[in-house]
Amino acid sequence: MIAIDWSGTLTGVRAAWRREISAYFATPLAYVFVAIFLLVLGIFTWDLSRFFDTGAADLAPFFYWHPWLFMMFMPALAMRLWAEEANQGTTELLLSLPVNLPGLIIGKLLAAWTVAALALVLTFPWWIAVNILGPADNAAIALTYAMSLLMAGGYLAIGAAVSALTRSAVLAFVIGVLVAFILTAAGWPLVSGAVADLLGPSAGDAIAQFSFLTHFETAQRGVLELRGLAFYFGFIALCIALNTLFVSHRRGGAQ
Amino acid sequence: MLDLQNLRKAFDDHVAVADLSFQLNKGEVLGFLGQNGAGKSTTMRMVSGVLEPDAGDALINGHSIVSDRRRAQSQIGYLPEGAPLYRDMTPVTFLRFMADAHGLPRSERKNAVERVIADARIASVAGKPISALSKGYRRRVGLAAALIHDPPVLLLDEPTDGLDPVQKRAVRALVARMAPEKSIVISTHTLDEVPAMCSRVIVIDQGQVVADQTPKALADSRPGGLEEAFIALADSREGGA
């Protein structure tokens, strides 16, 4: 059982956030991440979804790709968070600090989330474009952006927790993408339909409820569901708890 | 200041530290010696809160590392083996991070960073990336980080490893300057360093204390001095095993 000492959490959050932000922007990592994300999202929205051919003043063709791109990009952003600490031997430094572990874990996650938020903010030209095309439902767009950010946090939480399992950032990325793919594809009609055919409609629905895709699609329709919020926040909390467990395990002597 | 009470740690079937106990008072500088695998680093990791002991406890200024870890850790400055650092940072940004993590108020942070940069003599490299620094400078950055919150207890694992003679002398002088106000544990393989820095020496083998003396008393116990005494202690345990 893990005894969590919540005092000192904020100190840990602040220190870890600053450290990770510095690490992201001291190297080309954050810049490259943001640039490639914007480029790929732009190509997918423009070319594959034929954004301007739809003639509709909404961002559905743009948001459609978010879960699928986050599934790849967020584990890439989070893969080094703990794997690199283990690889460089700095886990020992962190564990010797007078802060509690969940604070460090939350701080690191928030730093990655900040970079993801920056990438999302830089997609604002799409929002402007859709308003030029015609009268857009800006409240629904704002809600979908907010849920997209929350969903990004979920994918990052997977990547961060998985990165605490290994010294290899590449391995953390591969496992992170695999887990993220399962949690995305579970809501894909092809998958949930196949499960429903095999095990019955209730099983298909149950599987879909564990998917990021399902809860994000609800938000895309302009509906704010408490169930969706609870799903994302609950999932992130679960990943933080698992991340704490994995890093705490190193206190017991695991290398 | 430092009170180790029957510390024990095993990794699978291998007992690394077995019921290790000793006390260290303010003003003492302890040379913590042992062969590779004797349990020195495991002990340091347990006392610093990095590893959880299987049994026993370490009290740091009265705070238990088992039940009151955060307060106990705030009383310790720890230089881990190999001085792991964030290579993408500069010494200044790294020391700011350490000051932050130790919860130093913003008003004190700048002074604390300047103080330890001066103490560790790293001003000339303070703005360079840590990845570009020599091993000796990295070790001094690690030492500066251990001192950032001016802790009463210092745990230094191989503090002079990789330093040139001038740098070693500077570290010795720093330890001597800090010694009256602190309890300092220095784990080292370099026996020459012990008489120069330490007022007391503990030798451990197979996780247990096999000698606890002043460096002079230990050196005088054998005609060949400290090195002979250290080898004799190790050999006697090997023979008895």
pLDDT digit string, tens, across residues B52-88: 999 999 999 999 999 999 999 999 999 998 889 999 9
Cα B144 → chain centroid: 13
pLDDT for the residue A15: 93
Categorize the per-residue pLDDT at B241 as very low, low, confident or very high, splitting at 50, 70 and 90. very low
CATH number at residue B71: 3.40.50.300
Q: Are residues B34 and B125 in the same domain?
A: no
User: What does the alpha-carbon distance between residue B148 and residue A233 come to, in Å, rounded to a whole number?
Assistant: 37
Interface contact A12, partner B, CB < 8 A: yes
- In DSSP terms, B20 is beta-bridged to B7
Which single residue is written with the structure tokens 């000339």?
A: B124
Domain holding B57, by residue range, is 1-75+154-241
Sheet holding B153-157, edge to edge: B76-79, B153-157, B183-187, B29-33, B200-205, B208-213
Q: What pLDDT digit, counting tens, does each position of B157-167 carry?
A: 988 887 888 88
Give the Cα separation of B183 and B191 in Å (integer).
20
pLDDT at residue B240 tops 60: no
Question: What is the bridge-based pairing of β-strands B76-79 and B153-157?
Answer: parallel
pLDDT at A3: 52
Give the model's pLDDT for residue A209.
87
CB atoms B70 and A99 under 8 Å: yes
Q: What is the pLDDT of residue A24?
A: 93
How far apart are the C-alpha atoms of B1 and B7, rounded to whole Å?
16
Asked if A78 contacts A112 with a C-beta cutoff of 8 angstroms, the reply is yes
Structural domain count, chain B:
2
Most confident of A171-175, A191-195, B36-40, B202-206: A171-175
Mean pLDDT (chain B, rounded): 91
pLDDT for residue B237: 62
**pLDDT on residue A4:** 54
* pLDDT computed for residue A59 by the predictor: 87
C-alpha–C-alpha distance, residues A100 and A8, integer Å: 6
User: Both B12 and B61 in a single domain?
Assistant: yes
Tokens 């914007």 — which residue?
Answer: A38
The pTM for the full model equals 0.90
Judging contacts by C-beta atoms under 8 Å, the chain A residues touching residue B93 are 22
> Which tens digit of pLDDT belongs to each residue from B142-180?
999 999 999 999 999 988 887 888 888 888 888 999 999
Provide the β-strand partners of residue B55: B8
Amino acid letter, residue A11: T
From the CA of B229, how many Å to the nearest CA of chain A? 32
Q: How far apart are CA B115 and CA A43, in angstroms?
A: 53
The predicted complex's ipTM stands at 0.91
Q: Are B42 and B9 in contact (CB under 8 A)?
A: yes
Residues of chain A found within 8 Å of residue B76, distances taken between Cβ atoms: 96
Which residues of A are less than 8 Å from B147 in CB distance? none
Kind plus residue range of the DSSP H or E element containing B182: none
Q: Are residues B58 and B166 in the same domain?
A: yes
Q: What is the pLDDT along chain A (255 residues), one digit of tens a residue?
A: 445 556 578 889 999 999 999 999 988 889 999 999 999 999 998 888 777 777 677 888 899 999 999 999 999 999 999 999 999 999 999 999 999 899 999 999 999 999 999 999 999 999 998 898 888 889 999 999 999 999 999 999 999 999 999 999 999 999 999 999 999 998 888 888 888 888 888 888 888 888 999 999 888 888 888 999 999 999 999 999 999 999 998 887 665
> Does one domain contain both B99 and B214?
no
Of B104, B122, B150, the one marking the end of a domain is B150
CB-based contact B52 A251, cutoff 8 Å: yes
DSSP category for residue A44: I
- Indicate if B179 and B236 belong to the same structural domain: yes
- Residue A1 has a pLDDT of 47
Same domain, B166 and B142: no
Whole-number Å distance between alpha carbons of B21 and A93: 24
The Cα of A246 is separated from the nearest Cα of chain B by a number of Å equal to 14
Q: What share of chain A is helix, strand, coil (3-state, %, to 5)?
A: 80, 0, 20
| pLDDT of amino acid A46 | 84
Distance CA B24, CA B38 (A): 20
| Residue whose tokens read 């939480």 | A157
Q: Which of B110, B127, B150 is the last residue of a domain?
A: B150
Buried b (16+ CB within 10 A) or exposed e, B120-139: bbbeebbeeebeebeebbbb
Residues B61, B15 share a domain: yes
